[in-house]
Structure 1
C-alpha cells in the first residue's frame, strides 16, 4: 500500500481527536481514505472532525465511540465495525495515556498497561477477521522511546505492589512493541497477507501529556512545542508505517534525527529488551487470558 493509493481504503485510528492520531487522520483523509476516528469523547471527536473538514472538505470521516480502558466498550465498537464493514485496510493503534496518577481501568487493570496495551490487544484481535480478509492490510501500533530499558512486571501488572508512573508507562510501550512484532510473526506463520508494524513519534509536543484523563494546560503544551517535535512531524512515522510500500512487516519506524527524538521517518532498532522471546510469549498468553480475546489466524 502506498500513499498514492489510499483512495477507497478504510482506516480506523484510535485516539484520533488530538495529537498524532489527529494528524494521521487528516493525512489519510486528504489522500482519499475513509477514516473512522475511534475516540473516547464524542464531543471532542466531532470537533476534530469539523477541523479536518475545514481543511479537507471532501474528507470521508466519521466518529465512533470507544473507551480503551473498558473491554465492553472495545467489544461493542468491534461488533459495530464488523456489522458495517466487509474489509479493513488499516488499524492504527494510537490512543494512549501517559504517566497519570495511579488508577485502574473499568476491568481492574492498571490504567496505562490496560489502555495502552491490553485495550489495543483486545481491539486488534476482535478486528482480525476483517483485517485478514483484506488484501495488503496493516496494523500499526504506536510505541515509544520509553520502551528502552523497561520490563514487563508480570508479578505486579496491576500496580498493587507499588506504582511508579514512568516505569509503568515504559512497560506499556514495551508491551506495544512486543505485541506488534509478535503479531507480525504469527500472521506470517499463518500465511496471511496482513502486516503488523510498530512505530514511535520521537519526543513530540502532543496532548498525550495529560494529568490522568485531563488535558495538559495549553501553556505546557505550548512550552513543550518550543523544544519538542510538533504533532504533524510526530505523526510521520505512523503514516510511513501505514503506507510505505517497501515495508515487509515487523519493522519499527521512528524519526531519523539525533537520539531518534526528532526528524523524518526511518527504520529504527528496538532496544534489546524487546527481543526476549520468553517474555514475548508470556506477554501474549497473559494478554489473551486478561482480555478474554483469543486470536484466530486460520
Structure 2
C-alpha cells in the first residue's frame, strides 16, 4: 500500500477517543484526525500536559474540535469515571484508539496492585473498551484500534506470575503487555463477529518511532536520532486503522519498510502465539476477573 495522510477520509461528524493524546503517537494522531474534521476527545492522565497539547494543536488548527478529559489507565476508578462522563455527554462514539502506554519502567504497581505495564497498557484499555462498547455500537460503523508493538514478539502471558511478584524484568513485562494488547484486539474481533456487532477491532504497531518513551532509556536519544522515524510517521498505522476503508476487521498493521521499523502503513506480521485461541480466552477471563468488567455479550449494531 502507499497510504499517506492525503488519503485520510473526511472525518466531519465523527467522535474519536484517543488515550494518551497529549504526546507521541497519540498527539500526532490527534492532529491528523482533527485536521480532517473529527471531534477528538483527548483522554490524558495529566490535564496540564493535555491542556498544553490541546493549545498547541489549536494554534496550528484554529478550527479543531478538541475536548480534554482526564483518564488514568492505571486506576480503574478513573477508567470508570471517564466512561460515565462519556455516557453522560455522548450518544455514540465512532472510534476508540487505545494508544496510551508505559514502557519499561522500574517495578511499579497500579492503584489496584497490578504491575504497571500490564495494568496500564492492557487491563486499563480492556476495561475502557468494555465500558464504552455500547457507545461504539451506537455509531454507524464503530472501530476499536489497539496499539501493540514489535516488542510483542518477546512477550509471553505469564499466567503463573502475571503481576511479576517474583523476579521482575522490565522489558519482558513490556513485551507481555504488548502481546496482551494484540491478543485482546484479535480476540475482541472474534467476539464482535460472533455476536453480529457493527463494531470492528483492529491492531497496529508504530514501528520504531521517535517518541518520549525512548528518551528515558539508556542510549534512547542516540538510537532515535540514528534509526527512528518521526512520531508523525509512527502514527499513520493508527490513523489508517481508525479511518481507512481498506482496514480489515481483525487486521494488524504497521510500517511497511525494512523489518517493519519504518515506512507507510502495511499489513504486519503477528507472532503465531497472538492467535492462540486457548491463551487468548484464558487472558480474556483473567482480564474480566481482575478489572471487574465483563463482556457478557457485545451489543448488536444500532
TM-score > 0.5 by shorter chain: yes
The 5 A counterparts of 1:140-151 are 140-151=145-156
Which residue number in structure 2 is paired with residue 72 of structure 1?
77
Q: Which moved further from structure 2: 269-278 or 14-23?
A: 269-278
Which residue number in structure 2 is paired with residue 229 of structure 1?
229
Q: Deviations over 1:162-219 (max 9, x none)?
A: 21000000000000000001101101111111010000000111012365xxxx79x9
Which residue number in structure 1 is paired with residue 3 of structure 2?
none
Which residue number in structure 2 is paired with residue 136 of structure 1?
141
Counterpart-to-counterpart distance in 2, 1:76 and 1:210: 31
Q: Deviations over 1:252-276 (max 9, x none)?
A: 0000011000111001120112121
Counterpart-to-counterpart distance in 1, 2:222 and 2:14: 34
Distance apart, 1:246 and its partner CA: 2.2
Which residue number in structure 2 is paired with residue 244 of structure 1?
244
Which residue number in structure 2 is paired with residue 209 of structure 1?
214
Which residue number in structure 2 is paired with residue 86 of structure 1?
91
The answer to whether the Cα contact below 8 Å between 1:150 and 1:273 also exists between their aligned partners in 2 is: no
The answer to whether the Cα contact below 8 Å between 1:98 and 1:210 also exists between their aligned partners in 2 is: no
Distance apart, 1:226 and its partner CA: 3.6
The alignment status of 1:12 with 2:12, answered yes or no, reads no
Runs of 4+ in 1 over 3 A off after TM superposition: 219-223
Which residue number in structure 2 is paired with residue 281 of structure 1?
281
CA RMSD of aligned residues (A): 1.5
Counterpart-to-counterpart distance in 2, 1:241 and 1:78: 23
The alignment status of 1:30 with 2:27, answered yes or no, reads no
TM-score normalised by L of structure 1: 0.95
Please state whether the residue corresponding to 2:9 is helix, strand or coil: helix
Counterpart-to-counterpart distance in 2, 1:271 and 1:223: 25
Counterpart-to-counterpart distance in 1, 2:211 and 2:68: 20
The answer to whether the Cα contact below 8 Å between 2:13 and 2:39 also exists between their aligned partners in 1 is: yes
Q: Deviations over 1:5-46 (max 9, x none)?
A: 311100000000000000000001000000010000000000
Counterpart-to-counterpart distance in 2, 1:245 and 1:64: 29
Please state whether the residue corresponding to 1:96 is helix, strand or coil: coil
Which residue number in structure 1 is paired with residue 298 of structure 2?
297
Q: Deviations over 1:62-81 (max 9, x none)?
A: 11100010000000000000
Distance apart, 1:244 and its partner CA: 0.9
Counterpart-to-counterpart distance in 2, 1:139 and 1:257: 25
The answer to whether the Cα contact below 8 Å between 1:252 and 1:268 also exists between their aligned partners in 2 is: yes
Residues 1:222 and 1:82: Cα distance change in structure 2 (over 3 Å) = farther
Paired residues in the alignment total 292
Which residue number in structure 1 is paired with residue 121 of structure 2?
116
The answer to whether the Cα contact below 8 Å between 1:207 and 1:221 also exists between their aligned partners in 2 is: no
Structure 2: gaps of 5 or more residues: 1-6
The answer to whether the Cα contact below 8 Å between 2:94 and 2:136 also exists between their aligned partners in 1 is: yes
Please state whether the residue corresponding to 1:209 is helix, strand or coil: helix
